């Protein structure tokens, strides 16, 4: 299926590895020009080179810490200079850390607020005027299944990602008339470095072998296994493409059937 992304200008935040990288790769496969971001310059440059070599598309790295307003400002100045327009924004950020509510510090909450909520607020505020000027746009927010069903050890994610979901739902109604479609995609148990780290932590806390913990978790998923970043990207990029012409303000969980909530 042609996703109508050839020659489109795409920005994918937090895309040097994991889900973000696979989404950037999928856009590049479809013929889009892509700016990718990450905090570590060497990793980011390697990722950009790898995707460009594999796809033949233009992939440009730009070092960015999405939790920092100054970095978001610099990034969008570059987007305007390099692209002139913006057709697609994928708002993504690394997950906030695991905390214990009773022992958490206020700085934990403020840091998660900047990383998870304000990174999207700032990106949207700059991207939307560019898209309005362009006469069209697509925005995808990479959330988590925690926006539908809280995850006990991910308190900060439960709270702040739900805030971004509410923001997206509100903006989707406001900007639909401008042909700017905004959707939320929530990964379940996708095989990434973050999931492996959480598995190791949970296995240690429960004093069982990592393999046993992972087996138990996968048995709780109706499909019976972890998802792959590639599988996640296939679905996410359709919503963030110009083949999608009538879906906006929606939340799609890509979780193998894990979440039981409607």
Query: What DSSP string describes 9-33?
Result: EEEESS-SSHHHHHHHHHHHHTT-E
Residue 236 has pLDDT above 90, yes or no: yes
- Taking every pair of Cα atoms in the chain, the longest distance, rounded to a whole number of angstroms, is 56
Do residues 248 and 135 make contact, with C-beta atoms less than 8 angstroms apart? no
- Whether 4 is covered by a domain: the verdict is no
Per-residue pLDDT at 153: 80
Closest CA to 57 of 89, 35, 37: 35
Summarised one tens digit per residue, pLDDT across range 77-87 is 999 999 999 99
Tell me, yes or no, whether 61 lies in a domain. Answer: yes
Other beta carbons within 10 angstroms of residue 194's beta carbon come to: 14
| Structural domain boundaries enclosing 221 | 191-226
Does residue 95 surpass a pLDDT of 90?
A: no
Q: Which phi and psi (to 5°) does residue 66 adopt?
A: -70, -10
Residues 27-49: what's their mean pLDDT? 98
Residues 103 and 164 occupy one common structural domain: yes
CATH of the domain at 238: 3.40.50.720
Residues 208 and 244 in one domain: no
pLDDT at site 229: 95
User: Do 63 and 14 share a structural domain?
Assistant: yes
User: Are residues 26 and 122 both part of a single domain?
Assistant: yes
How many angstroms separate the first and last alpha carbons of the chain? 29
Domain assignment present for residue 120? The answer is: yes
2 inside domain: no
- For 39, how many CA atoms within 13 A lie in the half-sphere containing its CB? 8
pLDDT by residue (tens digit) across 116-155? 999 999 999 999 999 999 999 999 999 999 999 998 889 9
Looking at the structure, do residues 154 and 91 belong to the same domain, yes or no?
A: yes
Tell me: do 241 and 148 sit in the same domain: yes
User: Is the same domain home to 115 and 205?
Assistant: no
| pTM (whole model) above 0.75 | yes
Are 250 and 204 found together in one domain?
no
Per-residue pLDDT at 193 exceeds 90: no
Provide, rounded to the nearest whole percent, the portion of the chain with pLDDT above 90: 90
Separation CA 256–CA 151 (nearest Å): 16
Average pLDDT value over all residues in the chain:
96
Indicate if 222 and 157 belong to the same structural domain: no
Looking at residue 152, its pLDDT comes to 84
- Domain match, 135 and 176 both: yes
Asked if residue 259 is part of any domain, the answer here is no
Give domain status of residue 262, yes or no: no
**pLDDT band for position 201 (50/70/90)?**
confident
Total of domains in the chain: 2
Q: With respect to residue 261, please indicate whether it lies within any of the assigned structural domains.
A: no
């Amino acid at each position: 299926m042609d996703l109508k992304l050839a020659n489109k200008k795409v920005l994918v935040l937090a895309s040097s590895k994991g889900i973000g990288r696979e989404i950037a790769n999928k856009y590049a496969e479809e013929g889009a020009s892509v700016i990718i971001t990450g905090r570590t310059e060497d990793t980011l440059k390697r990722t950009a080179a790898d995707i460009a070599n594999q796809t033949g598309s233009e992939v440009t790295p730009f070092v960015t810490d999405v939790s920092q307003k100054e970095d978001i400002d610099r990034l969008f100045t570059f987007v305007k200079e390099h692209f002139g327009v913006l057709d697609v924004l994928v708002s993504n950020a690394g997950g906030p850390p695991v905390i214990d509510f009773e022992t958490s510090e206020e700085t934990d909450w403020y840091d998660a607020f900047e990383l998870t909520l304000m990174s999207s607020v700032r990106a949207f505020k700059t991207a939307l005027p560019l898209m309005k000027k362009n006469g069209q746009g697509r925005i995808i927010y990479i959330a988590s299944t925690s926006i539908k069903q809280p995850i006990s050890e991910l308190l900060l994610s439960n709270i702040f990602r739900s805030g971004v979901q509410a923001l997206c739902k509100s903006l989707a109604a406001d900007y639909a008339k401008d042909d700017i479609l905004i959707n939320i995609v929530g990964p379940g148990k996708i095989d990434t470095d973050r999931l492996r780290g959480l598995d190791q932590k949970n296995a240690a806390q429960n004093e069982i072998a990592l393999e046993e913990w992972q087996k138990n978790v996968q048995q709780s998923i109706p499909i019976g296994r972890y998802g792959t970043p590639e599988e996640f990207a296939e679905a996410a990029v359709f919503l963030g493409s110009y083949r999608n012409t009538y879906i906006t303000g929606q939340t799609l969980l890509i979780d193998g059937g894990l979440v039981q909530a409607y």
